[in-house]
Structure 1
Amino acid sequence: MLRLLPGLLALVLAVYTLVDCVQTPDERVRGLPKVVWVFVILLFPYAGPAGWWFAGRPKAYALPGRPLPGPQDRRAPRGPDDDPDFLRNL
């Protein structure tokens, strides 16, 4: 039973990664085209999924109804006394 564990782990990891890759929109895939990622995931049992998770998967997903975070959204946090919108509503 213990001898089957690495093969079972590789299969589960490949299936999970393959589903994630197929569901990712084409324009969000990094590194290689999506079709190439599918072949890499299928041909290399451990390296393919690892490559997808570290180099091919998008960094952030948008929540439904909200745009993806961009560089303009990375402002330093401000306290309520520095926020003019907050002060205006007092």
Structure 2
Amino acid sequence: MGRILIILAVVMLTIYCVVEVAQSQPSRIRVMPKWLWAFVVICVPVIGPVTWLLAGRPENTPRRHALGPDDDEDFLRGLR
């Protein structure tokens, strides 16, 4: 039972990383090209996905949050 859980965890991690590599923009991926990351994640069972998560994944960039009407000062000024 333990072996099945370990194998299932490795397969799920690999699938997660393959999908993440496929959805990433090539210009934001670090260290290696996208096709090489996909190859490493698929062909090197545990080390490939872990390496992708630590070294290849695009860095988080702060996103601009849309302001709601009640947070937009220009909108509120226009109501008066």
- The TM-score with structure 2 as length reference comes to 0.73
Q: Among the aligned pairs, what percent are the same residue?
A: 38
Q: Give ranges in structure 2 of 5+ residues lacking alignment.
A: 65-80
Question: 2:60 is aligned with what amino acid?
Answer: A
Structure 1 stretches of 4+ with a deviation exceeding 6 A read: none
Partner of 2:69: none
Partner of 2:4: 4
Partner of 2:18: 18
Partner of 1:47: 47
Question: 1:34 is aligned with what amino acid?
Answer: K
CA RMSD in angstroms comes to: 1.2
Question: 2:50 is aligned with what amino acid?
Answer: A
Task: Tell me how far 1:61 sits from its aligned partner.
Answer: 3.8
Q: Which fold has the larger relative contact order, with Cα–Cα distance below 8 Å and residues 6 or more apart in sequence?
A: 2
Partner of 1:57: 57
